[in-house]
Structure 1
Amino acid sequence: MSTTTRRLAFQRQPHLVDGSGSVGVWLTQPAGMLVQLLRETVTTGDIARFISHDAYQRLVGVMRPDERAFFLYDMALMVRYETEARVILTQWGLNVRDRIEHIVIRPPPEMNKLGRMGIQTIAAAMSLARVPIDIVDDLEPFLRARNLRPRLGAG
């Protein structure tokens, strides 16, 4: 696996980084979290648990009780994902669907057909649960349209 990296989603450092240094998470205002792979990464069960537990608990800690959040995933550097990760993230999404305002996923540009089918499976499950979800080539237009920016004082 090469050490390809990319420009950070925001100009400031992430609020959280997983233990491997592969995943950065920014808490946003309005309420949300932007998850970005910081280097070429296999999305594992451990990464899914970091997102669905550690990052989510940090987000909930700064949200109002009735507030709904944006969940943005820049997975452009995902090499592949383990089935366990997909199952964890899908189940978590369904469990917290009442707290979700919108999900936006940026998959890898050259993702194989099987990987795209996995992302489509997640999207279908969330759509059936009436959670707005979009799969995009670029998160920037969504960030601008919703005026999503890093939350100050959350890091």
Structure 2
Amino acid sequence: VTQITDQTEITVDMAEFLAGPVSEALLALPRAPGQRLIFIHEWTRFRSYTPEARDALTAWAMGLKGEIGRMLFVISKEASSMVRMGIKVGTMTLKLAGIDSELIDTIDPALAARGIRPRSGAPPRRPASP
């Protein structure tokens, strides 16, 4: 799960962080043969993005095509129509490339409807550093 907490704009730096260290850590997780990753981008606070960030995120997802089982984008209903349209175009691009992706408004019902749940036996989360 990726989450935007205090930023309202997705930047190239954020996209590069996701495409670099975050992806490397996810790909290093133990998985059953053929098991694919599920990405849930909880971006309800996001209100805009740079075109360069959009391009970097699309290229990142396309580069992981064989590793992704599903990619969900949780965007607030209050997001501008331009932002929602941009994300919808992105999800359609990914779908055409064979990546199951979707724009959704809320996270919990969407996860339950798709049978997505945390991996059993997952280690507890570490508390945030002060």
The alignment's TM-score, normalised by the length of structure 1, stands at: 0.71
Query: Is 1:128 aligned to 2:93, yes or no?
Result: no
Unmatched 5+ stretches in structure 1: 1-33
Match runs of 1:22-101 below 5 Å: 34-64=1-31, 66-101=34-69
The 1:147–1:130 alpha-carbon spacing in structure 2 relative to 1, beyond 3 Å, is same
Identity of aligned residues (%): 25
More strand, by proportion: 1
Q: Is the 8 A contact 1:49 1:88 kept in 2?
A: yes
Could you tell me how far apart the structure 1 residues matched to 2:95 and 2:108 are?
A: 22
Question: Aligned pair count?
Answer: 122
Tell me by how many angstroms 1:112 deviates. Answer: 1.5
Tell me by how many angstroms 1:154 deviates. Answer: 7.4
Could you tell me how far apart the structure 2 residues matched to 1:121 and 1:63 are?
A: 32
The 1:112–1:97 alpha-carbon spacing in structure 2 relative to 1, beyond 3 Å, is same
Unmatched 5+ stretches in structure 2: none
Q: Is the 8 A contact 1:35 1:74 kept in 2?
A: yes
Q: Which amino acid aligns with 1:75?
A: W
Tell me by how many angstroms 1:140 deviates. Answer: 0.8
Cα RMSD, aligned residues only: 2.0
- Which stretches of structure 1, 4 residues or more, deviate above 6 A after TM superposition? none
Could you list the per-position Cα deviations for residues 112-139 of structure 1 after superposition, in whole angstroms to 9, with x for gaps in the alignment?
Answer: 2221221012111111011111211111
More helix, by proportion: 2
